Amino acid sequence: MSALTLKVAVSLASKAIAFGREIGAAPLTIAVLDAGGHLVALQREDGASLLRPQIAIGKAWGAIALGKGSRLLALDAQQRPAFIAALNSLGQGSVVPAPGGVLIRDQAGHVLGAIGISGDLSDVDEQVAIQAVEAADLQADAGVAA
């Protein structure tokens, strides 16, 4: 697979919602971006709060922008707050440095895009993102060893 198609993006979002329901997560919002950082699919569950779409997009966009999962961006925010502030200034506030943004790689390791999830605790958001990507027979790259 060389590109993230709409069909794959919608499937990833659907898988994420299904996994979220299986584990009893709070209502989730799922954003799937292509390798250029463009939104391909966005699904917001009934009951998801107002800013969840922007947060999910921000988690995924940060992962694409810097080539690493948003959990690592959260660590950067703690260790290098000036860098994250500058990054958000350059990105017009588009980066959300919290777990839940995961790179999507094909089986050869090429980045196809990213998935960002918001709605529950960030660790749960990230877990659901990883499960959805892996269920699609793709590689989830959260930036940490599984």
Q: Compute the average pLDDT of residues 5-20.
A: 98
Domain ranges of the chain: 6-141
- Taking 50 as the threshold, does the pLDDT of residue 34 lie above it? yes
Q: pLDDT higher for 85 or 123?
A: 123
Which phi-psi region, left, alpha or beta, contains residue 37 (left: φ > 0; alpha: ψ -120 to 50)?
A: left
Q: At what angle do helices 52-66 and 81-90 cross, to 10 degrees?
A: 100
CATH top-level class of 6-141:
alpha beta
pLDDT at residue 89, rounded to an integer = 84
Q: What is the pLDDT of residues 46-101, one digit of tens each?
A: 999 999 999 999 999 999 999 999 999 999 889 999 988 888 888 777 899 999 99
Give yes or no for a contact between 121 and 4, defined as CB atoms under 8 angstroms apart. no
Count of residues making up the chain: 146
Full-model pTM: 0.93
CA 96 – CA 135 distance, rounded (Å) = 25
